Every structure is written in structure tokens, then in C-alpha cells.
Structure 1
Amino acid sequence: MQRAPSSWVIDPDDPRAPPQDLWDRMTPDERQRVLDTLPSEFEVSEASPPEGDFHFNPKAAAKETLGGYFQRIGRRVYLACELPVYYPAERMFAPDLIAVLDVQVKERSVWSVSAEGKGVDLALEVLWSGSSKKDLEDNVTRYAALGIPEYFVFDRRRRRLRGFRLAAGSARYQPIVPQEGRLTSAVLGLDLGLEGDRLRFFHGLAPLPETHELLTRLGAMVGDLEARIDETEQRLDEERQRLNQTEQRLDEERRRADEAEQRLAEALAELARLKRERG
């Protein structure tokens, strides 16, 4: 790992990006060295172990579902799960899911607000067995202070969904009021809702299909296509058989016509012969 510029020392136990004024004074090489030095991976703490599939699957499904949707409509939205986010001079954090609008969609090791020139537009946390205080109190205060426009918390165990949005000109969140059981995200232009213990995204009344649903639909479409191909090939075989039978009948008719023509010619020749003999 490269050393950061001497003007900014990164504490491995509390890594932070430089304050914005210091970043602005750095050369491009110094900035790159800072980015190369900011940690993107951290050792798992035994006091805070991973939460397993119940925690991982919802955020992975959300990332894949939203990624597929925005790709289909041609909207550039960067999505990442547990990516280290560095605001200037702020303690690093890594939400379960972040969304940033209208930026280049590519792989990143960290999200540096100073380097990207843009902060996070939406954060989503999945709560399973961790601390509800962290997600429903601490993060509500912190994310609002950082200016993240929207924040959602999906409590899978309790089957609850909460949303928060910055009020205009304020550094405090206001709860997003559910409409017919769903929360509207102005950032995504979508609604969020629950189906049992599953988090779903909706465009209008239609839920966005998840990857396994798309694969099921694709499999059904392929099956239908293969069935139609088989039916078409069967009809073609039947048409070929009928064509062959028709050609065989035509050949038989031609053979009979040739035989009749030959007999007629023979009869005419015999008639001519008899006329000559009589004459």
C-alpha cells in the first residue's frame, strides 16, 4: 500500500478522507495516493459478525433488481453493497446498499465524495439481528447530517419498512408517510413495499422482477419458443409428406398420360396401316 501524502495521515483504526479544503490543495498525484491508501476491506470483528443469508440476500436482490431496471431504461445509477464511503474528514461507513444517480457505472473499491464530486443519493440498511439503535437512530441522525437525500431501513425480522427524506433546506430527516402500504422514493422514482418478509420495488402498480423471476420467465419463454418450433417443424414435415404424395400422384398421372398417349399413337398408326391396306 502506498503512503498517503505527508499532509494527511490515515489512521488504520479510523480511516478518513482529508477535509475538503486540504483535498482542494492537493496535487492529482497526492489525491490518487490518498485514494490508493483508503482501506476498502476490513477484518471481520468477532463482536460484530456477518448476519448470514437473512441479511445478505435482501440487499443483493435489491442491487440486482434495481441494476437490471435502470439498465433497461437507460438510466445511469451506480449501486453498491457495503462499499466503504468516505465523506471529507468524516468517519467511514458502508451501508448495505447505496445508490448514486447520473454517475459512471463501473467497479469501485471505495466511494470518495471528494474524488467523485458527489455524495450518496440513497442509503438502505437491512436489519436482521443487529442493533436497531444503529439503523433507526444513529444512522438517521448521521445520514441526514451528511446530506443523504433518502434513507430506508428494512427490518426483515419484524417485517417493517421505514423511510426518511431530507426536508427542503434542512439537515434533518422527515419520515416518509406510507401510501397504500408503500413508501415512495423520489430518488429512484419507484415505490418500496413488502411482500411477506421480502423487500420489493414497484413502478406504478407493477413490481420490478427479481433475477430469479426473470430467469423463470425467460425459461418459460424459451420453452414456449421451443414448443412452437417443434410444432412448426412438425407442420413442415406434414407439408413435405403431402407435397411428396402430391408429386407421386402427379408422377403417376404423367405416367398414365404417357401410356395413354402411347396407346393412342399406336392406335392411330394401326388405323393408318389399315387404311393403306384397304386402299
Structure 2
Amino acid sequence: MNRSPAPWSVDPGDPRAPTAEVWEQLTPEQRREVVDSLPSEFPLDEAAPPEGDPHWHPVTRARTTLDRWFRRAGRRVYVSGNLAVYYPGERVFSPDVIAVVDVETHERERWVVSDEGRGVDVAIEVIVRGKRRKDLQRNVEWFARLGIPEYFVYDRKRSSLRGFRLASSAAKAYEPIIPQRGHYASRVLGLDLVIEGGRLCFYAGDAAIPDTDELIDKLGALVDAAEQRAQELELRLDEEARAREEEARVREEAERRLAEALAELDRLRRERGA
């Protein structure tokens, strides 16, 4: 049996997911074929130029901190970043960090909204240099139109943070998130985003969520303290062991001298009796 070709072809120079109308017409097999054909890499004019460690470190910290937090909290929140995101009929894009709540958290090569049945819930961009207009103007308008509920932009060079939120699911323009004592509340994540010491941090209530480096430092300090206590205990046990050995030696010496004294006393008594 010949299989009819899918009524959608992907343009390598401008890859897009099918529109919602076309998606509805596709069979499950055709949908899977289309999803698998969507590239996980980005066109050269969309890909951001390399920005090195100043960009990589805050992005990685944010992703690992959020992922670890939600896993420990038992919440199904998919956290990723630099992942090709396809909205129906829209140009592919890739925020530095994305989060989608109440979905499976398995690994993905791309996020295709029609296939997943969900759009992105939170997007975070990290600015190091040269793309403030894109992140603070184009994306603010575009992400709001796509219906992404919350969007945050961390400008590392300026040590600043801005947040945007849709007032309702029907809204198509963001409202700025007004910080409270420097905390930008994410209603979607149930966390606050904060700049501390120039770094992007996350808070659960009044408690800061430690990132991996901070956890390693804390665990390293705990290990060092435990090793020190173990060494002190070993030293104390050695001293106690030596003390017991000395006590036994003194007791044996006393018993020896007592035995010699008794023997000498017995000898003297025998001589006097004779």
C-alpha cells in the first residue's frame, strides 16, 4: 500500500511547524513524520553568536537549579534551554531557558507545540552583549502574541532583571512584573527571581535556592567538618587506648611488686621461725 505524502514540507532555510489548520488534517503517522523532520538546530540568521562562559554559566546555573528544585519538590516541570521551539506556523526560536509545568520531563530534541499539546510557560533570556533590542523589544512583543505567560530577561553586564506577564490567557500584550524588595515573582513557577551579587538567583518564599556550586561548597564544608571530627575522634580513641595500656602496665607493675613483697614477707617469716 502506498502511503500518501504529508501535506507539509519543511523549508531547511526557514523551518516551521504546520499551522493549526494543517496539523488538524494530518494523520498520526504524518504528524510524527513532520515532527521528526523539524531540525533541532537553528538557521544561521537565528542562532546567537557564541558568547562564552559569561553567557553559559548563568544559563546552566538557572537550568540546573530549577530542574533540581522541581525534581526534589516532586513537581512535573520540564526545564530546558537552547531547545528548538516550534509554534504553529511560526519561525523557530530558542530561549536560553524554558519551563513547562505539568508535563513529562523526558529528554527532547525539540518542543513542537502542536505535538506536545502545550506551549512554553516561562521563558528566560540572558543578555551578555549585543542583543538587548531582540530580547527586550522583539521577544516581548512576539512571546506575548504566542501566549507565553511569563518572560524574564537577565542582563548580566548591567546586573539587572526585567519580568513580563500576561494578565490573562486571552491577553496579547505583556504587563511588566513589578518587583517587591527586588523579588520578581513568577506565578507559574511559584518562585521569585532575584539578582544577588550580580547573579540570577531563585527564592522559594524567603529562602534562597542554592545552585550547584553553592551545594558543592556546602557539601564540601560538611565533608571537611566530618573528616575533622573523625580525625579528632580517632585521636581521642588513640589517647584513650594509650591511657588504658598505661593503666594496665601500671596495674601489672603494682601486682608484680605486691607479689614480690608478699614473697619476701613470707621468706622473712620462715627465717624467723627457723
**TM interval, short-chain normalised:** 0.7 to 0.9
Could you list the per-position Cα deviations for residues 98-130 of structure 1 after superposition, in whole angstroms to 9, with x for gaps in the alignment?
011122222211011122222111001112323
Q: What is the percent sequence identity of the aligned residues?
A: 50
User: Structure 1 counterpart of 2:93, which letter?
Assistant: F
Offset at residue 10 of structure 1 (A):
0.7
Distance 1:108 1:29, change over 3 A: same
Offset at residue 240 of structure 1 (A):
0.6
TM-score (norm 1): 0.85
RMSD value over aligned CA atoms?
A: 2.6
Could you list the per-position Cα deviations for residues 162-194 of structure 1 after superposition, in whole angstroms to 9, with x for gaps in the alignment?
111111242221111111122111111111121
SS at match of 2:239: helix
User: Structure 2 counterpart of 1:247, which letter?
Assistant: A
Distance 1:139 1:43, change over 3 A: closer
Q: Which structure's CA Rg is the greater one? A: 1
Could you list the per-position Cα deviations for residues 193-228 of structure 1 after superposition, in whole angstroms to 9, with x for gaps in the alignment?
212432222223332222222222122111111111
2:56 maps to 56
Distance 1:28 1:255, change over 3 A: farther
**Residues 82 and 96, structure 1, Cα contact 8 Å, conserved in 2:** yes
Offset at residue 83 of structure 1 (A):
0.5
How many residues are matched? 270
Q: Are 2:28 and 1:28 equivalent residues in the alignment?
A: yes
Offset at residue 248 of structure 1 (A):
1.8
Whole-angstrom CA distance in 2 between matches of 1:106 and 1:9:
27
**Residues 5 and 33, structure 1, Cα contact 8 Å, conserved in 2:** no
Offset at residue 5 of structure 1 (A):
4.6
Whole-angstrom CA distance in 2 between matches of 1:199 and 1:192:
7
1:148 maps to 148
**Residues 125 and 154, structure 2, Cα contact 8 Å, conserved in 1:** yes
Q: Are 2:148 and 1:130 equivalent residues in the alignment?
A: no
SS at match of 1:98: strand
TM-score (norm 2): 0.87
Distance 1:266 1:105, change over 3 A: farther
**Residues 149 and 166, structure 1, Cα contact 8 Å, conserved in 2:** yes
2:104 maps to 104
| Correspondences of 1:261-272 after superposition (within 5 Å) | 270=270
User: Structure 2 counterpart of 1:42, which letter?
Assistant: F
Whole-angstrom CA distance in 2 between matches of 1:139 and 1:158:
19
**Residues 46 and 93, structure 2, Cα contact 8 Å, conserved in 1:** no
Could you list the per-position Cα deviations for residues 29-58 of structure 1 after superposition, in whole angstroms to 9, with x for gaps in the alignment?
322222221100136459952233333322
Distance 1:206 1:47, change over 3 A: closer
Unaligned runs of 5+ in 2: none
SS at match of 1:184: strand
1:232 maps to 233
1:10 maps to 10
User: Structure 1 counterpart of 2:192, which letter?
Assistant: D
Q: Are 2:212 and 1:211 equivalent residues in the alignment?
A: yes
Whole-angstrom CA distance in 1 between matches of 2:253 and 2:52:
77
**Residues 16 and 89, structure 2, Cα contact 8 Å, conserved in 1:** yes
